[in-house]
Amino acid sequence: MITISIDEKACVSCSLCVDICPTKVFSFNSVKDLPEVALPKECFGCLSCSEICPSDAIQHTGAALSSCFHHDTYCTNIVSKLAVSEPASFEDIASATGLDEAMRDISVRLLSVGTVLKDVVGAGLPSVGLMAGRSLATQLPRYRPPKNLEEAFELAIKEFAPAWGLEFKQDSDNLKVCVKECFVRGLCKQENISLGGELCVLFFNYLSGYLGKMSKTQLKLVTAERSAESCSYEVKIMHR
Amino acid sequence: MKATIATEWLSGCSGCHVAVVDLHEKLLGLLENVEFVRIPVLMDEKDYPEADIGIVEGAVRSEHDRVALKKMRSKVKTLIAFGTCAVYGGPSGIGWLHESSDVMNCAYRSGPTNSGTESPDMNAVPLEECVVPIDEVVPVDIYLPGCPPHPYFIAAAIKAVLDPCAPRITGKPVCSDCTRKMRKSENITLKRGELTAEDQEICFLSQGVVCLGSVTLNRCLAPCPKRGTACSGCAGPSLDIVNEPQLDIRTLVAKRMNMLTGIDTTDVTSYIEQNAKTFYAYALASPAIYKKPTVEIMEWTGETTKLN
């Protein structure tokens, strides 16, 4: 059973926990000016009260933490080394960063999203990938935009690792993109899907939108070769 | 035998070192157990002596910072990232959004109070291209954010390092130490650009003023909201925001304000986005914040125009 304790000293009497709880576990004691756990058996551990609580005054014991959510090891490392007094639940999270489970979870979603996008937008699929790639280029913060294509390539190799292993060979306006490690290819192999489907189209255009936005060029696909080990794309660079 | 402490300051304001001195008479109690072998604010020791505890203040901004930090790490057993700059990059993290040459120009040449002729590039160590928290350069054992951390937490953290059985310090947000009461209120509009509110007993969020207390780690004992100014988030994001990828400063504040006053969440989020350099000032350079999928600092601050 889940037990809930309220740190009465930390509580700021906002009663947001009373409002947000889907099963009405809390009631507000207006005499003490504090919330009380009125129906503890109703709690099913959604932790929405803990999330909304401005002073982190609500503690649950016995609630199953959703360890399959992926937690960044960089962030869990900071949290585990803050010398704080109630690290138990955070230590659980830090030990289970759940990368494999998160990857499996993403795989399923990616496959279904790809299929839905193809059905809905049809021939507009490359544009969807392109737009997503362009927004990635503006979203990832970097201390300065790359000055030329080479810098953009370096950055792309860094940003896409380790799920993707990219190689770029540029000969004036002709570019060869070699994709060695590929998350999408692994997924296709696992699910027995032939290469060159909607996910491949989405990924290539995503990459080209990302590179194009960063290097202020447009990349136009000439030929594409796909195999079980690596895929390569011949690309023409169009300067804007 | 006394444990030895060495400290070093990198790119910071030295306020964290002053906070160590602010331990006042507690410092005497502390000195029964520890001995400072290097502390730039109190003694003249240029070398890096061996020590049990190393305390580093400030972010890595110049080549000097990187070299000094690596030397510190090689000489100390336990390294404490001390202050928000060391842990999350601090306010100088806004340098991420500009080229370092622009930063130098603005500070030394083109500013309204500068003569425009002098530049510090003769003897000064050159800036690196970006600001990084110290844990991107060397491994860190304990993080103690705060701008500066309150002496209460400094003493507690040093005790926690020396004695594994010593009580740990709080992981709650600033609100947990704030004396204001959070109440529901009606007919409240968002007060843009305001840092204070009329009622001294009631929470800022209930009065329509954006206060970051509920999304900021308590390393200060809440002096600002207790004395009438909204929290600016100087100790960096609270634990849930650091840990959970889907939680973000602006959305959590907006949700709480919406539930308390009925102000539209998009009003609050767009206000915070417009002033991202203020509301995200302290942890901008940390991957814990800028790698969040919902944080688009470049977009909000208009710095993407450089990319177009």
pLDDT string in tens for chain B (308-residue length)? 888 999 999 998 999 999 988 888 887 777 888 889 999 888 888 899 999 999 999 999 998 999 999 999 999 999 999 999 999 999 988 888 887 888 888 888 887 887 777 777 667 788 888 889 999 999 999 999 999 999 889 888 888 888 877 777 888 999 999 999 999 999 999 999 889 998 999 999 999 999 999 999 999 999 999 999 999 999 999 988 998 888 899 999 999 999 999 999 999 999 999 999 899 999 988 888 888 877 777 778 876 554 44
Q: Is A57 on the interface with B (CB under 8 A)?
A: yes
Lowest mean pLDDT: which of A3-12, A24-33, B18-27? B18-27
Q: What is the pLDDT of residue B119?
A: 72
Interchain proximity A79–B239, CB inside 8 Å: yes
Q: Is A85 on the interface with B (CB under 8 A)?
A: yes
Residues 6 or more apart whose Cβ sits within 8 Å of residue B7: B17, B20, B36, B38, B39, B40, B41, B54, B55, B56, B57, B82
Contacts of A72 in chain B (CB under 8 A): 245, 287-288, 291
Residue A23, phi-psi category: left (phi > 0), alpha (psi -120 to 50), beta (remainder):
alpha
pLDDT of A68 strictly over 70: no
> Chain A residue with minimal CA distance to B161?
A83
Contacts of B173 in chain A (CB under 8 A): 54-56
Distance between CA atoms of B242 and A76, rounded to whole angstroms? 8
Looking at per-residue pLDDT, the higher value among B40 and A96 belongs to B40
Stretch A22-33: mean pLDDT:
92
Q: What is the pLDDT of residue B75?
A: 94
Stretch A212-221: mean pLDDT:
83
Stretch A13-21: mean pLDDT:
93
Q: Measured at the alpha carbon of residue B234, what is the angle toward residues B228 and B239, in degrees to the nearest 5?
A: 110
The packing angle between helices A198-215 and A183-190, to 10°, is 180
Q: Is A162 on the interface with B (CB under 8 A)?
A: no
Side-chain-side CA neighbours of B21 within 13 Å: the count stands at 10
Q: Is A143 on the interface with B (CB under 8 A)?
A: yes
Q: Is B302 on the interface with A (CB under 8 A)?
A: no
Q: Is A141 on the interface with B (CB under 8 A)?
A: yes
Q: What is the pLDDT of residue B42?
A: 85
Q: How do the domains of chain B map onto residue ranges? A: 3-162, 174-306
The total of other beta-carbon atoms located within 10 Å of residue B290's CB is 21
Interchain proximity A213–B307, CB inside 8 Å: yes
pLDDT in tens, A141-169: 565 667 778 888 888 888 887 788 899 99
pLDDT in tens, A162-194: 788 899 998 888 889 898 888 888 888 888 888
A88 pLDDT band, cuts 50/70/90, is very low
Contacts of A89 in chain B (CB under 8 A): none
pLDDT in tens, A37-47: 999 999 988 88
ipTM over 0.85: no
Contacts of B226 in chain A (CB under 8 A): none
Q: Of B95, B167, B181, which has the smallest distance from its Cβ to A12's Cβ?
A: B181
Q: Is B137 on the interface with A (CB under 8 A)?
A: no
Interchain proximity B167–A85, CB inside 8 Å: yes
CA B163 to each of CA B3, B158, B159, B166, B188: distance values in angstroms, whole numbers, following the listed order? 11, 9, 6, 5, 49
| Domains contained in chain A, CATH given | 1-64 (3.30.70.20), 67-97 (no CATH), 101-239 (3.30.1380.20)
Q: Is B97 on the interface with A (CB under 8 A)?
A: yes
Q: Considering only CA atoms, which of B192, B215, B213, B207 is closest in space to residue B271?
A: B192
Both tokens assigned to B157 = 């953290």
Amino acid at the residue B145: P
Domain B3-162 CATH superfamily: NADH:ubiquinone oxidoreductase-like, 20kDa subunit (3.40.50.700)
Q: Is B299 on the interface with A (CB under 8 A)?
A: yes
> Chain A residue with minimal CA distance to B202?
A12
> Chain A residue with minimal CA distance to B212?
A54
Q: Is A55 on the interface with B (CB under 8 A)?
A: yes
Amino acid at the residue B206: S
Distance between CA atoms of B3 and B5, rounded to whole angstroms? 7
Task: Give the gap in angstroms from C-alpha B94 to the nearest C-alpha of chain A.
Answer: 9
Task: Give the gap in angstroms from C-alpha B44 to the nearest C-alpha of chain A.
Answer: 30
Residues 159-178 in B contacting A (C-alpha not used; CB under 8 Å): 160-161, 167-173, 175-178
Q: Is B225 on the interface with A (CB under 8 A)?
A: no
pLDDT in tens, B52-85: 999 999 999 998 999 999 999 999 999 999 999 9
Distance between CA atoms of A120 and B148, rounded to whole angstroms? 54
> Chain B residue with minimal CA distance to A82?
B143
For chain A, the average pLDDT equals 83
A140 pLDDT band, cuts 50/70/90, is low
pLDDT in tens, B104-145: 888 888 878 877 777 776 677 888 888 899 999 999 999 999
Beta bridge partner(s), residue B56: B8, B81
